[in-house]
Structure 1
């Protein structure tokens, strides 16, 4: 494993153990077995390191969306959307600590927003892509043509985000997969 990967792994571990404030670059470098100077050779700032953790280590929504898109027109739409929904809940649950810390620090948030804009992504991206996939399934005749794909995608992602956040305050009373299947079933009801 290369130095960059060790740093990202150490950052993810430090974020889980100490939260955003406690996951200092000094602590991350020490856990990665490198100097802080070497950490900064790989990452220009903490924002870039956080983005690397988000994009490279957390259960990614991108591959789940790619799987959905590959199955447009064939396969079980409900099963594919249910799998995606479970992944989205897992993603939002794992990203909550980073997101809340970034939101609480205006300078970190400003840097993070700039970086997301530069690479053309952000929290809106999976919603837009999911809406495109839903529209493709509509054109394939597998989802009700009357469904507002943009609203449906926003509602599905919003429900995932909400469930993830609620899980920090109370244990869900049902299984995430069963919940996801119920949400998708409601979305696809004709």
Structure 2
């Protein structure tokens, strides 16, 4: 495995366990089995490393969002949305420790926003990607003409985030598939 990938895997473990604010590059490098200097040969800083972890080690959430418009008309809308919701729940749950660290420090949040802006990325891209898919399904007649794709995207992604958040607090939350299928089934498509 390439050095960069080993570092990203180690960062994913450390950041998910400790959050961004409580993880150090020294600790990440040690977890990867390299020096901090090696880490800095591949990444500018801990924040860049966190963004890479979210994008490259997220459970296929971003690639799935990117592929959604091409999937329009290939399967029932509810099936695709349920599949997306399951992946999204895992992404949000794995990311919550990092998200909490970002929002707890205004300087980190500002740096993260700036970094995402320069890469034309950010959480709004998930909503936009899902809404684009829903508009494509709407154009095919698979979703009601009076449905609001942007609102539906917000409802699906918001429900996923809420479920991921709740599972941190209660061991009796429904499993991810049951939750995803449940809130997708309630959508008025």
> Common fold, TM-score beyond 0.5?
yes
Per-residue deviation, 1:178 = 2.1
Per-residue deviation, 1:172 = 4.2
Specify the alignment match of 1:180 in structure 2: 180
C-alpha distance in structure 2 between counterparts of 1:16 and 1:74, whole Å: 35
C-alpha distance in structure 2 between counterparts of 1:155 and 1:75, whole Å: 21
Q: Is 1:80–2:59 an aligned residue pair?
A: no
Is contact 1:78-1:184 (8 Å) kept?
yes
Per-residue deviation, 1:156 = 1.0
Is contact 2:59-2:90 (8 Å) kept?
yes
Q: Deviations over 1:122-145 (max 9, x none)?
A: 111010110111111011000111
Is contact 2:88-2:160 (8 Å) kept?
yes
Specify the alignment match of 1:92 in structure 2: 92
Task: Give the TM-score normalised by structure 1.
Answer: 0.93
Cα separation, partners in 2 of 1:173 and 1:164, compared to 1, 3 Å: closer
Specify the alignment match of 1:62 in structure 2: 62
Specify the alignment match of 1:31 in structure 2: 31
C-alpha distance in structure 2 between counterparts of 1:21 and 1:134, whole Å: 37
Give the secondary-structure state (helix, strand or coil) at the position aligned to 1:169: coil
Cα separation, partners in 2 of 1:46 and 1:158, compared to 1, 3 Å: same
C-alpha distance in structure 2 between counterparts of 1:183 and 1:29, whole Å: 40
Q: Is 1:150–2:150 an aligned residue pair?
A: yes
Is contact 2:59-2:91 (8 Å) kept?
yes
Higher mean displacement: 180-189 or 118-127: 180-189
Is contact 1:130-1:153 (8 Å) kept?
yes
Q: Alignment RMSD, CA only?
A: 1.5
Cα separation, partners in 2 of 1:132 and 1:175, compared to 1, 3 Å: same
Task: Give the TM-score normalised by structure 2.
Answer: 0.93
Structure 2: runs of 5+ lacking an equivalent = none
Specify the alignment match of 1:17 in structure 2: 17
Per-residue deviation, 1:84 = 0.5
Give the secondary-structure state (helix, strand or coil) at the position aligned to 1:20: coil
Cα separation, partners in 2 of 1:181 and 1:17, compared to 1, 3 Å: closer
Structure 1: runs of 5+ lacking an equivalent = none
Per-residue deviation, 1:67 = 4.3
